[in-house]
Structure 1
Amino acid sequence: MPTGHRPERPRRLRRVLLPIGALVGVVAAVAVTIVALKATSGRTCTGLLSLQVVVAPSTEGVVRQAADTFKASQPIVDGKCVQVQVNARSSADVARELPTTQINPPALWLSDSSLWPQQVVADAVPGSPTLDIRPSLATSPLVVAASAPSAGKLGWPVSQVSWQRIIDGSVPAVLSDPTTTTEGLLTLTLMRGLLGNPDGTPKAELVDALLRIGRSTLTTVQDGFGKVSQGPDTAPVFTATEQSVLATNRQAGKREAVAVYPQEGTVSLDHPLVRVTRATEPPGTGEAANAFEQVLRSSDTAKRFADAGFRDTKGAAPTSWRDADGVRGDLPRTLPAPNAKQVSELLKTWTVLNLDARMLTVLDVSAPTKQKAPTGQSKVELERDAALRALGMLPDTTQIGLWAFSTQQTPTTDWTELVGLGPLGEQVGAGPRRAALQSGLTRLPSLVKGGSALFDTTLAAVQSVRRAYDPVKVNSVVLITNGRNDNPQGIDLPTLLDRLRAQVDKARPLPVITIGIGPDADMDALRQIASITGGKAYQAQEPGDIQNVLLDAMSQRSCRPNC
């Protein structure tokens, strides 16, 4: 065969960082292996056919070896030598970019979970590629990864460990970002199953857990293993694949981390192979993809997956696993996988809760708040405790301010600013604003006096937040009251509503979330205030309801008025 017709010899390209533009949709090459396939004996290539394959990073080594095997078979499609290009990308990144990727789009995608291609299918728009989600190549269950000392705090290995124990806050636990990692996303689905409502909406307990865990989100799962390596005695627990635990320990040459299998069961990363078809793909791409798929589904490749720490497609583990690997060989109980709609709702809730907020909290300290609830606490003490609990869940970047209101609070106003609006982590006096807010909330019972100046205070609060409106944050006012406006020298309800209506700006939304405590709260007025501003009105009939309605209000604050 003439030299000029031979394809180039295989060569490994250096790692190259390419700019990713939303307009061009370029798939960045994280680790590229190009395998040029020679023509079979007696035949000549008339050109090259590039087969783009994008894979989850954990499977990259196995797919490289499969590409080498494919090379050895020397296939030609329609007279063209097939050139296989393997790119390692996170499945979340591929799912985001796939609909618009125009340069070197993949023909095959080995995702680590069916969740991501299902999302692409669910969100498809005209011009999106067609996805054929094919059967799994390997599996790996989601486990709780921990150092041995941290796992011991959960009761491991003496007793079974519950997911509830992990998310209740008694042991430091962190989550990898569910918008960019499959492990984080699957963990959210498990939390939803434990703490969500049947209709998919979040219970207050779920919002509580998401706020708490979201304060210390890991960028990647490897960051969690880094914490285990650096400080095993204080390292938090986190979720990871069983395969990653085994791979980490093998690389370290010792058992650095252990895989804990919660007793309720877990979900598995199923690693489906996805055929991605575009109308503009070169002729022969489908035939080349099918030929390479046969190699990926061969017994040799299955053995390579097992050697890399994966289970087979039915969940069976290799017999070679040892206790020293930090994993368990028996088949864990498998829980149902979520559907695309459930995933979308979860990501929406997560995104809302983790958006940077700018929120002025306004609490009623009029004389009726001294009244005792059945629990023995006064209403103002219930307000204080609910606000303190919520404060502890918010990240330092959240901007919070605190007002207390009743008639006669100051010589000129019916409200007093206890802490100015700003980031929780910002220094205020001798300490951070978070500490100042805690101190201000603790003072509330000592401020109780006078009547309720509900209408004047509401208008003043809205005007205050709007004056320093931040368009990159979720601006809102949260107002908690237990009674009715009884300030005869102030504005009436029609005047308040007219002035609020005049300030509505759809481009700069500022919802007022109102919470009425007990049966004496003027819910008609609170609903009208919330409606005009695009907020929502809640009524906490029982003392225990205050915490729940406050958490629900926080979970919906960014989608107002379209929730």
Structure 2
Amino acid sequence: MGTRPLHAVHRTVLVVDVSAFSGRPLTPQKEIRLGLYAALETAFVDNGLTWSAVDHEDRGDGVLVLVPPDVPKSRVVDGVPHALLGQLRRYNATRNEDAQIRLRMAITAGEVLYDGEGVVGDEVTLAFRLLDAEPLRDALDRSTASFALIVSDRIYADVVRPDPAMDPDSFRPVHADVKEVHERAWLHVPNGFTPPPRPEPEPKPERVRRKPPWARLGLAVLLVGAGAVDAFGARPPVEPPCPPPIQLNVLVSAEKEQVVRSLALDLEDDSGRHNAQGCKEVNALVYTGKSDRLAAEALGRGWQPGDLTLVDAAEPHVWLPDTSAEVTAVEEALRQREDVRLRRRQGVAISPVVLGASEELAGRIAPPDGEFEWRDVRRPAAVDTSSGVGMAAAAALLSGELDELDPDVPNALRELRRVTGRTTGDRPCAGDVALVGSERAVARTEGCRVLYPRKGALVLDHPFVEVERPGRPNQRRQRIVDRFLAHLLSPQAQDEFKRAGFRDLAWNTGLRWGPGVLADRPRTLPVEPDARLVRRAWETASRPRVIGVARDGSPEANLFATRVRELAGPRDRVVELPMTEGVLDAGVGQGAHLVVLTAAARIPSVPKAAGGHVRVVAVGFAEGACAASAPLHEAAQANGGPCLEIVSRNGSGATQGQEDALDVITRAAWGG
């Protein structure tokens, strides 16, 4: 957004609205919003204006754009619509009917005042009234064009009519009669096709009846009386027009999307009772991004213009993540920023992180009290840490194996590998495959018995977070945000959360399905995991890797090669390589990320450079195996890895040196 002035300034005002937006399903609506913003941004860039140089406000199914006064109006009236038409055609050509965009567009110009409520001005009001004018709606409905444009009489007189390049004859005059606006405007539909106005119906002839003299006298008395009433101010005052509803963008986790959307619609429907005119005060847009992690990262950047496409979501005014751990991570990222901050209010619902298990598995790991230990979960279903629930699930699984989640702690990465390597894509709650997730999700999954961890469950506290822009205060929106929070905390909304499977703020549950759900509050852990650290650790340890192993055939090397294979999980691959001069090229050919050379005897010389990049770790089981001139040392040093010399003191059994070497290999494969 451009810097907002303190005083009224002249602006060219452009507003667009997507035709028939509200009647479409959610997924096409999200696609349309992304397409609209991308098309607008490109249209302005094509005309020498960056999107950040203009003020713009989201209107849910449309956008208000205020162009700086130093930009010629002709560029806005002629250049932007022309470029926008091309962008819309490209977009619509690759979308089905539900996701296609057709726009109503209005352009005016005049003084605009920025205040704590947003923007005000006669020309802003006029632009929105023209956007709702019946001739514009009618023209778009009866054409096949991508948009229909209406401009004010002044814009036509000052900008369009004097410039033959704008083809003034392609505009036709129409009468805009919307609320307090009753004036002439000019309509244009691209491609030279402007539908003629609908013909006025023929008036029916009226029968003329001669009025008796007393009737004419009575009419005169009434007219005199009406004038007297008007003269003394007895005529009812004209009600002021309704201002445009405030736009409230609510970014919500997928876990809560359905129930929050329903409650936001209730807020919209109820907003009219807060003013004397019964005007609708809010348009609430509730949406999820591509992932909670991407949304959190965008918030940490201050939600830059490119994040609209990257995150697949508009800039939020309210954020409803699954856990405060996500909020803490963003607050840390925003510490150095002054243009955006998070205001943490309070939670709106509660969900403990639990385990779902088949009856057979539950009988093995949780008899007889229904509580279990995380370390006993041997085959958890796959975990997606990009969501807040998934991040908490990963933290719960890791808590059973590690006191610290820092991958840089010695041996931690190998333990992480053991946990992530046990996950499976098999159906949860069947056999020994368990499901880790929110109590709500687990209880709703077929075949799952809900189990609670013996030491206490991590808690998803579902916080309400206000995204504040200190440089762009908006008192109207602030009142709506406060009202929305109060609505989510109301008894009626808390009952809705319970019906959707969450616990209310008193820990009461509405769950009546799935065995094992506790009516009382379960034991919980008063800890908040580090969201960024958990995600980094889990994703680091989960990356699929190809490891090449070359050995000289000695017992020590054979045993160590077996230990290396044990590091691999279901998505990894360990390949055997020949212990020859071409071993590194063979590893590159197999797509190896790492080559492990292990030998008890002297090996052939290995070229220092292979036909592609591959990292090497060498392990020698003889005195001098890693001497400076030894082939193992040279191969490792030339390819970014260490040479580890292990002299076995206990036959061919595992030694601390071997354990240390396995940690080094794990870090080389997954940590770097």
Per the normalisation by structure 1, the TM-score is: 0.64
1:349 CA displacement:
2.7
Partner of 1:176: 383
Query: In the alignment, which of 478, 487, 491 is matched to residue 286 of structure 1?
Result: 478
Partner of 1:328: 518
Structure 2 CA distance, aligned partners of 1:513 and 1:344? 30
Partner of 1:354: 542
The answer to whether 1:262 aligns with 2:453 is: yes
Structure 1 CA distance, aligned partners of 2:583 and 2:317? 63
Give ranges in structure 2 of 5+ residues lacking alignment. 1-18, 41-58, 62-237, 309-313
CA contact (8 A) 1:452 1:484 kept: no
2:270 maps to a residue whose letter is: A
Partner of 2:266: 69
Q: Which structure has the larger Rg over C-alpha atoms?
A: 2
The secondary structure found in structure 2 opposite 1:350 is helix
Partner of 2:618: 479
Note the 1:169-248 alignment, pairs <5 A: 169=378, 172-178=379-385, 180-198=386-404, 200-201=406-407, 207-208=413-414, 210-215=416-421, 227-228=427-428, 233-234=430-431, 236-248=433-445
Partner of 1:273: 464
1:193 CA displacement:
3.2
The secondary structure found in structure 2 opposite 1:261 is strand
Partner of 2:577: 402
1:468 maps to a residue whose letter is: G
1:81 maps to a residue whose letter is: E
Structure 1 CA distance, aligned partners of 2:455 and 2:472? 45
Structure 1 CA distance, aligned partners of 2:404 and 2:346? 29
Query: In the alignment, which of 644, 662, 669 is matched to residue 550 of structure 1?
Result: 662
The secondary structure found in structure 2 opposite 1:512 is coil
Structure 2 CA distance, aligned partners of 1:423 and 1:364? 19
1:269 CA displacement:
0.8
Partner of 1:452: 602
CA contact (8 A) 1:138 1:271 kept: yes
Partner of 2:643: 514
1:515 maps to a residue whose letter is: L
Q: CA RMSD in A?
A: 4.6
CA contact (8 A) 2:353 2:439 kept: yes
Structure 2 CA distance, aligned partners of 1:198 and 1:11? 49
2:325 maps to a residue whose letter is: L
1:46 CA displacement:
2.3
CA contact (8 A) 1:33 1:85 kept: yes
Give ranges in structure 1 of 5+ residues lacking alignment. 1-7, 27-31, 35-40, 250-255, 371-378, 405-409, 427-436, 470-474, 504-509, 521-539
Structure 2 CA distance, aligned partners of 1:418 and 1:468? 7
The answer to whether 1:96 aligns with 2:297 is: yes
1:121 CA displacement:
1.8
Note the 1:457-472 alignment, pairs <5 A: 457=605, 459-460=606-607, 462-464=608-610, 467-469=611-613
The answer to whether 1:18 aligns with 2:168 is: no
Change (3 A) 1:153 1:101: farther
CA contact (8 A) 1:53 1:109 kept: yes
The answer to whether 1:52 aligns with 2:52 is: no
The secondary structure found in structure 2 opposite 1:311 is coil
The secondary structure found in structure 2 opposite 1:132 is strand
Structure 2 CA distance, aligned partners of 1:493 and 1:59? 61
1:50 CA displacement:
0.6
Change (3 A) 1:486 1:301: closer
- The count of corresponding residues between Structure 1 and Structure 2 is 437
Deviations 1:100-144 (A, max 9, x none): 354531101111111222222222364763111221111100111
1:241 CA displacement:
0.6
CA contact (8 A) 1:142 1:239 kept: yes
The percent identity for this pair of structures is 20
1:303 CA displacement:
1.4
Change (3 A) 1:264 1:298: same
Change (3 A) 1:419 1:145: farther
1:389 maps to a residue whose letter is: E
Structure 2 CA distance, aligned partners of 1:184 and 1:112? 10
Change (3 A) 1:72 1:49: same
Per the normalisation by structure 2, the TM-score is: 0.55
Partner of 1:137: 348
Partner of 1:163: 374
